[in-house]
A and B are shown apart, each in its own frame.
Chain A
């Protein structure tokens, strides 16, 4: 059944994954590999389960079928304590930032350090300031999360994600709703952190342009299947209609403009009920 060979350099490998929510099939027997030290992007239209895939990799959801292994460990067979140990080596950047709203920026970044290490406060201070410096927000350390702009919140969340020096960061829609400057900063940060810290990054995004600029490899998902994969150049030149529609942003194509509905004329002419 498993016809995919895991590349030797793979940090995360997803094999024959199927997952459904209710009656909707989100993933239908897909296999993906994420190489160490690389930035791999998962792209696709909204609602294709990109965030769900990150949650599956992080062990927050369980697949119906198939396996996901991270650094050689099968995520869904780990005991709770082992899973938590694995998560300490993963950073995740949520779309909203998910900063703890009752703490200021400094305490948010210090949070994983205080929870998982017994370092003295002076050393925590040094580490927090270093992480904040890396994202350019050392001066914002006393602000509360509600005083931050969306872009700043994401950068703080990024500082927090790298607090424990993880081996991998999962980015959930890092570019959504950002102005061009914040977007540029985030793109630059993700690329430079990946290189300087020797990370592996997985980016879930539907932002074609910016993601293609920094990704080493791209998977395009749609309808629970992988409809295209390759380097950004290969994806650009793909002959698949799905991929072309997605990359060029055409309103109609294999992904229809209209949500499935009964015939338009019949619907207009049918009388009586409101719906």
Chain B
């Protein structure tokens, strides 16, 4: 019993210490944002590797998710003779939930894990230490550009995911299942609200981008500088990002759509 309590206390203490380190790390990242403005090239390079390189996986996943949504939605809606509303159903699911959440999870898996491994290996091969000895702050030079790139990329990727998903849904719904094209689009136009649906979706994806970039960069920076340490850190990035995204999604949904 004592051993269990001791273990519980110790692991709580370790978690809180880590949370403290992560918060301090975040402050250091944010302190570097202003000086990043003076060097847009650093940001552009990261936007490419964090954002542009995630394009393909986001587009393909979005397309398939949209197509499946349309299929499943059609079978349920047609029972009630409401297949005309397929457009609004597909669009609302994507813009409100699936767009931000699934692209957030994919982002954590594709870009987040790469960020952790990159930073962790830079630490293991003394590149970060070397930079410090060259009087270059590795957080400003390496971490902040990646963080800002993640923050900018995530809403754009989520928007891309939703847009491609809607096209996929339309292809299946109208092309294959015979839903009227005009009804599909006009129901969607009438049913989707800019502030309630689209803006809330964008806010969600910004939050997910913030959290998963923070987790990925911190895990890399805090990794034990060995191959095993980096591998564990990469796993933690994906697992912790997924939990955070799903948990935050529930909280955000409750706050945003709770009163309806």
A-to-B contact residues, CB < 8 Å = 58, 60, 84-85, 87-88, 90, 92, 94-96, 98-101, 111-112, 115-116, 157, 160
How far in angstroms is the closest Cβ of chain A from B39? Answer: 10
0/1 interface trace, chain B 104-139, chain A, CB 8 Å (1 if under): 000000000000000000100111011111111100
Contact B134 A87 (CB under 8 A): yes
Contact A96 B125 (CB under 8 A): yes
Contact check: which of A85, A88, A98, A116 meets B126 at CB < 8 Å? A98
23 residue pairs from A and B, CB less than 8 Å apart: A58-B133, A60-B129, A60-B132, A84-B135, A84-B137, A85-B135, A87-B133, A87-B134, A87-B135, A88-B135, A94-B126, A96-B126, A98-B125, A98-B126, A98-B129, A99-B127, A100-B131, A101-B125, A101-B127, A112-B134, A115-B141, A116-B135, A116-B136
How far in angstroms is the closest Cβ of chain B from A42? Answer: 17
Complex: A87 Cα to B130 Cα, angstroms:
11
- Size category of the B interface is 10 to 19
Complex: A45 Cα to B127 Cα, angstroms:
25
Contact check: which of B130, B135, B137, B141 meets A98 at CB < 8 Å? B130
Contact A98 B127 (CB under 8 A): yes
Contacts of A58 in B (CB 8 A): 133
Contact A90 B125 (CB under 8 A): no
How far in angstroms is the closest Cβ of chain A from B120? Answer: 13
Contacts of B122 in A (CB 8 A): 101
Complex: A88 Cα to B135 Cα, angstroms:
6
Complex: A88 Cα to B131 Cα, angstroms:
11
Contacts of B132 in A (CB 8 A): 60, 87
Q: How many A-B residue pairs have CB under 8 A?
A: 48
Pick the most buried of B125, B129, B130: most chain A CB atoms within 10 A of its CB: B130
- B36-51: which residues lie under 8 A (CB-CB) from chain A? none
16 extra A-B contacts, CB within 8 A, seeds A87-B134, A88-B135, A100-B130: A58-B133, A84-B137, A85-B135, A87-B132, A87-B133, A94-B129, A96-B126, A98-B125, A98-B126, A98-B127, A100-B131, A101-B122, A111-B134, A112-B134, A115-B136, A157-B130
Contacts of B134 in A (CB 8 A): 87-88, 111-112, 115, 160
Contact A92 B130 (CB under 8 A): yes
Contacts of A92 in B (CB 8 A): 130, 133
Contacts of A98 in B (CB 8 A): 125-127, 129-130
Contact check: which of B127, B129, B135, B137 meets A100 at CB < 8 Å? B127
Q: Which 8 residue pairs of A and B lie closest in terms of their CB atoms, listed nearest first?
A: A98-B130, A87-B135, A98-B126, A84-B135, A92-B133, A88-B135, A94-B126, A112-B134
Nearest to A81 among chain B residues (CB) is B135
How far in angstroms is the closest Cβ of chain A from B134? Answer: 5
How far in angstroms is the closest Cβ of chain B from A41? Answer: 20
How far in angstroms is the closest Cβ of chain A from B118? Answer: 9
Complex: A84 Cα to B135 Cα, angstroms:
5
Complex: A152 Cα to B135 Cα, angstroms:
24
Complex: A1 Cα to B130 Cα, angstroms:
35
Contacts of A116 in B (CB 8 A): 135-136
Contacts of B141 in A (CB 8 A): 115
Contacts of B130 in A (CB 8 A): 92, 94, 98-100, 157
Contacts of B137 in A (CB 8 A): 84
Complex: A94 Cα to B137 Cα, angstroms:
17
Complex: A208 Cα to B15 Cα, angstroms:
45
Contacts of A85 in B (CB 8 A): 135
Contacts of A96 in B (CB 8 A): 125-126
Complex: A132 Cα to B172 Cα, angstroms:
61
Nearest to B126 among chain A residues (CB) is A98
Complex: A271 Cα to B127 Cα, angstroms:
47
Complex: A61 Cα to B132 Cα, angstroms:
12
Nearest to B132 among chain A residues (CB) is A60
Contact A60 B135 (CB under 8 A): no
Contacts of A87 in B (CB 8 A): 132-135
Contacts of B136 in A (CB 8 A): 111-112, 115-116
Complex: A116 Cα to B134 Cα, angstroms:
9
0/1 interface trace, chain B 22-54, chain A, CB 8 Å (1 if under): 000000000000000000000000000000000
